[in-house]
Structure 1
Amino acid sequence: MNAAVNLPNGVTLADLDAFEKAVDTIIDVSHRLAKHWWIDPKTGEDLRKNPLIVPTKLLLTVSEICEAMEGDRKDAMDDHLPQFPAFATELGDAIIRIGDLAGAVSAKVGSAAKAKLLYNATRPDHKAENRVKKGGKKY
């Protein structure tokens, strides 16, 4: 990476390296703990061969995001882990599902996310002065 990049809010290139490593760890641990969900318990078939498994897993992740939204909307505590707000546990579930899926298909999400953070930090349409212009991104 270009060491001359000026990242906002005190973020450094070392922070981005740590972010990449953390994402890779999330993927590794999430997938190792969930590997049994990728094998049909009746047939022993590897479910990664099913062309509908990725869309199914993606929509299960969307359902976790929706549950997080409901937890936030209702200011609810989690049903299974009542010491945590439902918002936090459902976001955690989404992270776990994303990690598991990335691990199952060997997606290089850590390096891609690091590159995306660096790109987003330097793109003109993300700068405050451009966001307030007509047609700028509100969010």
Structure 2
Amino acid sequence: METTVMDQQTREAETEAIKQVIATIQHSQQNELPDEFVGLFRADAIWTTGHGKRLTGRDEISAFTHKVLPGAMKDSTATYEVVHVLFIRPDVAAVKAQAQYWTLEGQPIGNAGTPLYVMAKEDGQWRLVACQNTEVFAE
């Protein structure tokens, strides 16, 4: 199998573009914008929520998001930070993030999350393809 090596400048630019997708996840969550969130997914994407619900396809992801996101942030907020990007190919990346829900006063709520986003670059834009939200439990 042939692998394509990315030069440092390209890797940095693509990593920044991926970070912008994660920033949009944060923005859409904080501002309860389901259409903005759903627009990040490829049409055939799969997503497993933090509670283990498997969603297949943008339509199913959209129906779920439109049901749970409005009103979800009235007493809290969420932050997402990219902690690692693994380029599987120049147009496919596995992205680990750290997620945390917060009270409006800035206190953490519950355990942190460690979502995994598999992303593909299509038509010049990074899209969410296969995602798994996972809660981190103390050892």
Structure with bigger strand share is 2
> TM-score normalised to the size of structure 1?
0.30
> TM-score normalised to the size of structure 2?
0.30
Q: Which has the higher contact order (CA 8 A, sep 6+)?
A: 1
Larger Rg: 1
